[in-house]
Every structure is written in structure tokens, then in C-alpha cells.
Structure 1
Amino acid sequence: MGWVRRHPRQYFFGLVPALITLVVYVVGLVVLGFHAGDLAGWLTPFADDWAEGVRRVVRVVTALAVFGAGALLAVLTFTAITLLIGDPFYESIAVRVEESQGGAPPEPDVPLLVSIGRALKDTVVLGVVALGFSVTFFVFGFVPVVGQTVVPVVAACVAGYFLAGELTSVALERRGLRRRDRFALLKQNRLLVVGFGAMTFVLFLVPLGAVLVMPGAVAGATLLARERLAGVPHITVMKG
């Protein structure tokens, strides 16, 4: 955020794709919120014959869990979709960040259609992984005490890890690293990556936070990849 504060044009430039994604996601979450009660009833048919008070409590908790899982999935995929929509925007910010730190490595010579195909594949893979974690946290959210204390913390750390993976992809792909190689690099610096990602994830949970923080998150992830993960201005393209 310090970098984009010193480069306000880049900051406002980076707000555009995040605003577009936000509108789409808000509409989706509003629709989910309106139908959460119906989904809760569909998920808990076993409670149909229970006492009204108990049945109502179970279904309210289920509806909240459904909406919470949807919100978690939205946060986990928000960055991937925003990066997909705003690739030229964030590529420009990442290059400006690198230039301000001594220079950006040359962009890999990859055909546009191949690049788009890889981005779509990475988005689908992340979406599947995010859905799996959302369902897992949804189930464990029903565990008394643990579901309301430990699970949200673990969810933030897991979400932060994958969020950092998406944010650093712009800089690391420029260094020739594909998804498998990127996450292999992230695993070697897991605590650092989780720390960066979890903090960003928490900021994304603040209303409008994802939009306002996104340009700074891309700038920060570029600095993270350049200074802490990659360590050198260019890495030879790996196989695969």
C-alpha cells in the first residue's frame, strides 16, 4: 500500500477490474443470501419432524454456514477472477513495481491464446480447491466451540496461502514459473507466504476492502516475489 500511495495513478488504474468483479460477486452473494433459508431446509430434511424451536435454530445455523461457505469461496476466487479480468492492469502495475526496484525481467515469449488458456486452467483448478476447502470448513463449522474459534483461524490461513499464490503469480510467471513450480516455491517459504496472504485475506473481508486493497496487494506480492521468494531478477524457465 505504501508503493501505490507513492504512485496514485497506478492505484486508481488498478481499481477498475476489482470494481467489476465486486459487482458480480455482490449480486451473487445477495442471491445466495435470499435463498440461504431454502438451501438450509434442503440440507436438513432430517429436522422436518423436530420441535419447531430446535428445527429453527438448526436451520438458521445451517443458513449462516451456507452463506459463510459462499463468502469464503468468493474471497478465495475473487483474486483469481479479478486477475483474469484485469491481467493487463495488474501486469502493468507489477512491471512498474519491478522497474522502481531495478528493472523487470523480460516477459516470456508465450502466445496470447496459450497464456489465456493457462490462466483459465489455473482459475478452474483454484476454484475446485477453494470449493473443497469451503465444504470442509462448512462441515467443521458445526463442531461446538472449535467451529467458532479454531476453524475461522485455520480458514484464514489456508485462504491466505492460496490468495498469496494467486497474487504472486503475475511476478512469478514473468520469471517462467508455472502453477506447479510457483506453489513448490511457496511451500519453501510457507510461513512468510501465509503471513502475507492471511493479512490480505482479512483486509479483503472488510466491506469494499478487496477493491481498495487489490492494487496494493498486487504491488506487495510483486515485491514479495522479487525480494523474498525469487531472490533474483530472473529465473530460467522450468520444464512443463
Structure 2
Amino acid sequence: MSDLGAGFGYLIKGQRWAFGHGRWFGFGLLPGLITLVVYAGALVGLGYGADDFVAWSTPFADDWSSPWSGLLRNTLVVLVFVLGLFLAVITFTAVTLLVGQPFYESLSEEVDRSEGGEVPESDLPLWQELWISARDSVRILVRVALYGVLLFALGFVPVLGQTVVPALGFCVSGYFLAEELTAVALQRRGLVLKDRLVLLRGRRMMVLGFGVPLALSFLVPFVAVFLMPGAVAGATLLVRDLTAAPVPAPEPYTLNKG
């Protein structure tokens, strides 16, 4: 439980850092604003088109008696929109980070600089950084999509689908959201995707404490845009903890009998 609280603490510290550095906060808003406009249009389109999609995909229910046909299709409409929202929460961060790669990398470097110590910098050209980010994001999104399909199927299970499944969905969203955000600072430290996932699994509860509240807050319209600069800052602070060299244990004291 202490790791959960520590993860949430990094989220708060990151927001404080961003709001305390106004120029960097404004700098970090731009990619989120661009992505928000695109995603808002996509979700509105999904909201209007979900009924037609469900009706088209369930022709077998046309001859069902009332209320079973309406009950099935209304449930599927809700599930389709929830799945779309679930994917939007995850992909929003990935797309925003891709759009704002130069912005967020500079912001992450400034966080490291303000905290003291070594400031890792990527020596790769911008096009290569964008390619690595896009490639890794696709790999993460494939994993998320597989979890999403599984959770979507479990959503049909009575009681479990209305209680446990949504909670699991937010845990999955939060975990991979944290992965996307910490990737900015971890890539500068030379860690590839496989190594990043191993590192995060080692402190899973801390990662969930950071990512799950953020995923929940991202469901509120426009909030994601304003929290992104602080989320990148908090993820950088979290990375500094995760990659800190362990303090060597003191050598056992022995009496000198000589």
C-alpha cells in the first residue's frame, strides 16, 4: 500500500512542478490541445454511430421479441462506447506524446535539471526518436487492445461485468498510461521497451498508484490536456526513483581482535 501512495504522490508532485513553472506548463499544453480536438470529433462520431453499428452487427436479433432485442442492443451500444472511451484514454497519451515528442522531452529534461544530478540527453536525431516512439506505442496499443477485447467479452458476465471488469479496465488503462508517460524519461536513459516493462513490473503498485488516478481524471473532458504537462513531469520524477542506484548495505561490524 505504501507504493500506491508513493505513486500517487509523484502524480501530485508533477502537477505542482508544472504549475510552478508557468512557461513550461504552457509549452506542454500545445500537443494536448491539438490531439483533444481530433479525439473529441472521433468520440462524437462514435456516439452518433454506435446504434447503427450495433444494429448492423446483430441481424440475428431483428426477429427477437420485445424487450430482449432492445435490451441486447442497448447493452452493446453502452459496451461499444465504453470500449471506445477505454481505447481513447490509452491512445490519447500515445498520440499526444508522439505529436509533442520535442516538447515533452525538453520538459522532462528540465525536470531532471531542476532536481539536480545527471540530466540524460538523447543523442538520436528527431526522426529516429519519433520512429522509436511510434513503434513502441503501437506495441503497447496492441497489448492494450488484447486486454480490451478480453474485458469487453467479460463485460457480458452478470454482476462481474458490471463491477470487477470496469475496475480491471481502469487498472489496465492506468498501468499502460504510466508506461507511455515514463517512456519519455526512460528513452533518454537508453532503456528499450522490453527493459522499461521489466522495470515497471518490479514496482507495479507504485506504477498503478501513479497511473490509475490519472486514467480516471482523463475521463473528464479537457482535464487530460491540462494535466499532461504535470503528468510528464511526475513521470520523470517517478523514473528518477525507479532508476536510482540502490544504496549499498553497510558492511557488518566486526571487532578487531588483533
TM-score, with structure 1 as normaliser: 0.92
Distance 1:189 1:219 in 2: 19
Give 1:153 shift.
Answer: 0.7
Counting only pairs closer than 5 Å after superposition, residues 69-148 of structure 1 correspond to structure 2 as 69-148=83-162
SS at match of 2:131: helix
Structure possessing the higher relative contact order (Cα contacts under 8 Å, 6 or more residues apart): 2
Give 1:207 shift.
Answer: 1.5
Match of 2:243 in 1: 230
SS at match of 2:119: coil
Establish whether residue 41 from structure 1 lines up as the match of residue 55 from structure 2.
Answer: yes
Distance 2:146 2:115 in 1: 38
Establish whether residue 174 from structure 1 lines up as the match of residue 188 from structure 2.
Answer: yes
Match of 2:9 in 1: none
SS at match of 2:163: helix
- Structure 2: segments with no counterpart, 5+ residues: 1-14, 246-258
Asked whether the 8 Å contact 1:171–1:222 carries over to 2, the reply is yes
Which of 176, 179, 197 aligns to 1:162? It is: 176
Asked whether the 8 Å contact 2:90–2:176 carries over to 1, the reply is yes
Q: AA paired with 1:17?
A: P
Distance 1:30 1:167 in 2: 26
Asked whether the 8 Å contact 2:32–2:224 carries over to 1, the reply is yes
Distance 1:126 1:70 in 2: 17
Distance 1:189 1:10 in 2: 29
Distance 2:102 2:166 in 1: 34
The root-mean-square deviation of aligned C-alpha atoms, in Å, is: 1.3
Give 1:53 shift.
Answer: 2.1
Between the aligned residues of both structures, percent identity stands at 51
Distance 1:105 1:10 in 2: 17
Give 1:182 shift.
Answer: 0.5
Distance 2:58 2:222 in 1: 33
Establish whether residue 207 from structure 1 lines up as the match of residue 221 from structure 2.
Answer: yes
Q: AA paired with 1:109?
A: D
Distance 1:138 1:71 in 2: 12
- Structure 1: segments with no counterpart, 5+ residues: 233-240
Asked whether the 8 Å contact 2:113–2:119 carries over to 1, the reply is no
Q: Which moved more, 1:179-188 or 1:112-121?
A: 112-121
Asked whether the 8 Å contact 1:13–1:89 carries over to 2, the reply is yes
Equivalent residue pairs, number:
231
Asked whether the 8 Å contact 1:156–1:201 carries over to 2, the reply is yes
Distance 1:21 1:172 in 2: 23
Match of 2:4 in 1: none
Deviations 1:124-174 (A, max 9, x none): 112222222222221111211111111111111111111100000111111
Match of 1:236 in 2: none
Distance 2:209 2:90 in 1: 16
Counting only pairs closer than 5 Å after superposition, residues 25-40 of structure 1 correspond to structure 2 as 25-40=39-54
Give 1:180 shift.
Answer: 0.8
State the 4+ residue runs in structure 1 displaced beyond 4 angstroms: none
Q: Which moved more, 1:157-166 or 1:134-143?
A: 134-143
Give 1:195 shift.
Answer: 1.2
Asked whether the 8 Å contact 1:160–1:199 carries over to 2, the reply is yes
Distance 2:220 2:244 in 1: 32
Which of 59, 65, 68 aligns to 2:82? It is: 68
SS at match of 1:72: helix
Asked whether the 8 Å contact 2:31–2:99 carries over to 1, the reply is yes
SS at match of 1:107: coil
